[in-house]
Structure 1
Amino acid sequence: MVSLLVYTPPPSECSYLPHERSQITYEFVAELSPAEYLDRLNQGWRRFGHSLFRPACETCSECKSVRVPVGTFRPDRSQRRALAANDGAVELVIRAPSVTREKLDLYDKFHRFQHADKGWPNHAPETAEAYRESFVANPIPTEEWCYTLEGKLVGVGYVDAVPDGLSAIYFFHDPDQRDRSLGTFNVLSVIREAERRGLPHVYLGYYVAGCRSLEYKGRFRPSEVLGGDGRWRPFAK
């Protein structure tokens, strides 16, 4: 690993729980091996672009790292409906990340919808360079998962492969297709692909009770949550 900078900014308003104050430790890295990132995942870190980050809040511990044990996962009724609605209709291609106008337009459309529906920050159009820094110029080998429906791009996900699993980084989709539950379908697709590769875990990032944008991660059962002692335990909501 080539680490460039570690810093912890002062606390600010939490973007997940507005009544809380958030403090995050960041580490900027130029290079990161899959094994090194797995070690960080097991310490509660996540990655976005060249930034590793981990909550350092003094008064709140609601950000809980969650992973799904692939061998014991069983989809519930709504997840089976998502599979039935999309299997055979939505095509998935896994490839190296790239920037295209189609992806930029879909990314902007998704964020405009999330601003109106969930109160996300107002979104300015994404530039190709900003998108490249977030999703393409990665310090670790990253996969781009592109979902198409009748030839049209309807979803894009980014996934890191680590020695014992797949780590879902980010996913955005066409809000006009929200009845298809593409976010759920993406997680289910990652779980199935991990199983196909013989990998035991799928890392979903942080679950935060009370945050509409993150509570969905608790619906993939059974799952495990990372404790403060660095051990993964069954997650009981």
Structure 2
Amino acid sequence: MALHRDPDHELRLFQTGEHPCGYWPDRQARDLVLDPQDERLARLYPMALSWGFRRSGDLVYRPHCQGCRACVPVRIPVDRFAPDRSQRRCLASNADLECRILPAERTDEQFALYQRYLQHRHAKGGMDEHGTHEFDQFLIGSWSHGRFMEIRMPAAQGGRLLAVAVTDVTELGLSAVYTFFDPDEEKRGLGTFGILQQIAWAQRVGLTHLYLGYWIHGHRKMDYKRRFQPLEYYDGRRWLLADPASGSLAL
């Protein structure tokens, strides 16, 4: 079906067939996907982010499941963000680390870390079998304006790579695509630290938002996003400010 009229031609939107949900194993999922053959995807992607879509490789999608609205698009208005006590502790405990932003080009060091992370976090889930082709296909794609934010030990201590935050850069904000880190350094809270560094990055370059993808109430791996305040969520029509005292987002 057509999503809206473009000056040149209609933007087509497809609905996938049902497939196993990646978050709840007892559920089936479906997605809305922007036409992957549309040559304008790179230009349309920022607008799609504002509609609650997300990128995975070259696909721009949004969950569209029958009878389920668990996946809620969320973003942080970075100029209003204030770290809480736990996040300030995370910043302090990782103050020795060095961050640098690089083009989205795979290195052997990054790929080795990615494999270790998947084998620890997603053992026997399919992703742990990813090779270099799947890495490029999933995290880089062919048209996105992505960057790799590397988080390393200080150069004086060898500069070992600890984490990579894959980030898309658009005129509307940054989009946190995926973060992988050294499983032996889990106590550092590198996932949280990566988001805090992406917020600081957006602030430095004058972007208004960091898009975090989907928040899922009650899901252990996704509920952490509610800790970043203030937080805005998309209700299908507009972005609204979430109530930090609420355990869920009103839809």
Q: TM-score, normalising length from structure 1?
A: 0.89
8 Å CA contact 2:73, 2:213 repeated in 1 = yes
C-alpha distance in 1 between matches for 2:42 and 2:174? 10
Note closer, same or farther for the CA distance 1:31–1:189 as it changes in structure 2 (3 Å cut). Answer: farther
Which segments of structure 1 move beyond 6 Å, counting only runs of 4 or more? 1-5
Query: Which position in structure 1 is the counterpart of 2:137?
Result: 133
Query: Which position in structure 2 is the counterpart of 1:104?
Result: 111
Cα deviation 1:154-181 (Å, max 9, x = unaligned): 1011111111211111110001001100
C-alpha distance in 1 between matches for 2:132 and 2:139? 10
- The 10-residue stretch of structure 1 (132-141 or 189-198) with the greater mean CA deviation from structure 2: 132-141
Query: Which position in structure 2 is the counterpart of 1:228?
Result: 236
Query: Which position in structure 1 is the counterpart of 2:97?
Result: 90
| Matched pairs, number | 232
How far the C-alpha of 1:103 sits from its partner, in A, is: 1.3
Determine which structure has greater relative contact order: mean sequence separation of CA pairs < 8 Å that are 6+ residues apart, divided by chain length. Answer: 1
How far the C-alpha of 1:133 sits from its partner, in A, is: 1.9
How far the C-alpha of 1:124 sits from its partner, in A, is: 3.9
Residue 196 (structure 2) pairs with residue 192 (structure 1): no
Note closer, same or farther for the CA distance 1:190–1:25 as it changes in structure 2 (3 Å cut). Answer: same
Query: Which position in structure 2 is the counterpart of 1:162?
Result: 170
Note closer, same or farther for the CA distance 1:142–1:3 as it changes in structure 2 (3 Å cut). Answer: farther
One-letter amino acid of the counterpart of residue 133, structure 2: E
Note closer, same or farther for the CA distance 1:29–1:189 as it changes in structure 2 (3 Å cut). Answer: farther
Note closer, same or farther for the CA distance 1:168–1:137 as it changes in structure 2 (3 Å cut). Answer: same
One-letter amino acid of the counterpart of residue 16, structure 2: P
How far the C-alpha of 1:43 sits from its partner, in A, is: 1.3
C-alpha distance in 1 between matches for 2:11 and 2:74? 27
Q: Unmatched 5+ residue regions in structure 1?
A: none
1:145 corresponds to which of 146, 149, 158: 149
1:26 corresponds to which of 33, 43, 55: 33
Aligned to 1:206, the other structure's residue is in SS state: strand
Residue 16 (structure 2) pairs with residue 9 (structure 1): yes
Aligned to 2:195, the other structure's residue is in SS state: helix
How far the C-alpha of 1:112 sits from its partner, in A, is: 1.4
C-alpha distance in 2 between matches for 1:178 and 1:20? 30
